[in-house]
Amino acid sequence: KAGVTQTPRYLIKTRGQQVTLSCSPISGHRSVSWYQQTPGQGLQFLFEYFSETQRNKGNFPGRFSGRQFSNSRSEMNVSTLELGDSALYLCASSFGRGHMTNEKLFFGSGTQLSVL
Amino acid sequence: GNSVTQMEGPVTLSEEAFLTINCTYTATGYPSLFWYVQYPGEGLQLLLKATKADDKGSNKGFEATYRKETTSFHLEKGSVQVSDSAVYFCALSEDSNYQLIWGAGTKLIIKP
């Protein structure tokens, strides 16, 4: 069974641009969540989508947005990029929501975004 | 609010040494606790978890016990290998919130 696929693997953008990252969950998984990983802040939760609806959102500005399609694939968009947005963006999928007893998250390898 | 505190790294050990990575948490309710591992160039993988007090999670020789009285979930392994070199993250999740709160990560370096 294929794992969680994130594209692209690397991105280089300049300040003020916008970027879209893609995440294809494991087949059959309905929940996709996004995390930002930086050396200074560590891992921080961005948002979670389930059945095409955003169910939970972390403490990030409105420049960060996302969506989920009917096939559970998800995209994350960052507009008006800032230098501080440089990070590894990780996507994770699970069948249901959250960390119920029999659930676990499966992570992709991430998209490394560099803002110059 | 909820938070997770891990010991700072890097932690450098020789092969076959005993490993402990400390993790303590602050939570308002009764969270589930997790250890994730990130090998170089790879995404995060769930290593083990515990969902209630006194539970012990174990996997690949690693163990961690959910200690409510000390709000801790320390990761241990009796004999580490070079292949255990990675970054280890402690995390918590409250079912009411459906999101993970992460520790800063601890880089582990095992020398042959």
A73 pLDDT tier (thresholds 50, 70, 90):
very high
Contact: A42, B103; criterion CB under 8 Å = yes
B69, two tokens: 């009285």
A55, two tokens: 């169910």
Task: Provide the greatest CA pair distance for chain B.
Answer: 44
Contact: A43, B102; criterion CB under 8 Å = yes
Taking only residues 55 to 84 of chain B, the set having a beta carbon closer than 8 angstroms to any beta carbon of chain A reads none
Span A29-66, pLDDT tens digits: 999 999 998 877 788 889 889 989 988 888 899 999 99
Distance CA B69, CA B83 (A): 33
A102 pLDDT tier (thresholds 50, 70, 90):
very low
Q: Which amino acid, one-letter code, is at A74?
A: S
DSSP string, B73-91: --EEESS--GGG-EEEEEE
Question: Residue A101 has what pLDDT?
Answer: 40
Span B52-96, pLDDT tens digits: 899 999 999 999 999 999 999 999 999 999 999 999 999 988 765
Any idea which residue has 């990252």 for tokens?
A21
Backbone angles phi, psi at B54, to 5 degrees: 75, -5
